[in-house]
Amino acid sequence: MIKNKTLMTPGYRQYLYGRYDVLGHIEFKNIDQDWCWFEQWLRDLHRPRFDSDQRIIIEHMDTDFYRSDLRFGMNLRNLFEAFRVVDIPLFTMLLFTNHFGIEREVCELAPDPRDRPTLIETFVNRRHVTEHYQEISTRADAVIMPALCLMGGSSRSHRYATYRWLEQSDLLRHVAVTMGDSK
């Protein structure tokens, strides 16, 4: 069973649920490992006709995977294909994402402007907004070595691929890297 943890802040959620008739809401990391489950989830949301104010919210706040011969992410492509397979119009999708500039990819995958997802590009989510937020003053001239944190809540292949690239490019002596899961 896939857990449906979402990252959307309560303010965004309240606004979107007040503006649209939300048929479903899911965070992308919960589906990108099990497309059969996701297609069934969409089938459960399917209806003979969709109204213009109905939305299925997909939170896409994770790294996508790209091939050099495609101009869009593989996960994004699979997402659009799942909607098509289940025969749900793309306009019902509300893509809540931290992928600024993803509109170009969306337009490529959904060329009809009348059947295109609603996009909300934002960096604001529950990971970034906390009660204990404090402004940090930094001095760029005091940086001794650039650093990269590749830790996360679960094992993700893009972290290991980034680390291997840094290693193969002989950059680990120039960039401090933390690696591993933060559990």
pLDDT the model gives residue 110: 94
pLDDT digits (tens, 9 = 90+) for 80-115: 999 999 999 999 999 998 878 889 999 999 999 999
pLDDT digits (tens, 9 = 90+) for 125-164: 555 545 445 566 677 777 777 777 776 655 566 677 788 8
CA dist 88 to 3, 53, 60, 105, 129, Å?
23, 14, 18, 19, 33
* CA 43 to chain CA mean position, Å: 21
pLDDT the model gives residue 132: 46
pLDDT (average), residues 4-18: 82
Q: Give percent of the chain with pLDDT exceeding 90.
A: 39
Q: Give percent of the chain with pLDDT exceeding 70.
A: 81
| pLDDT above 70 (res 25) | yes
Domain spans of the chain, in order of start: 10-121, 140-181
| pLDDT above 60 (res 79) | yes
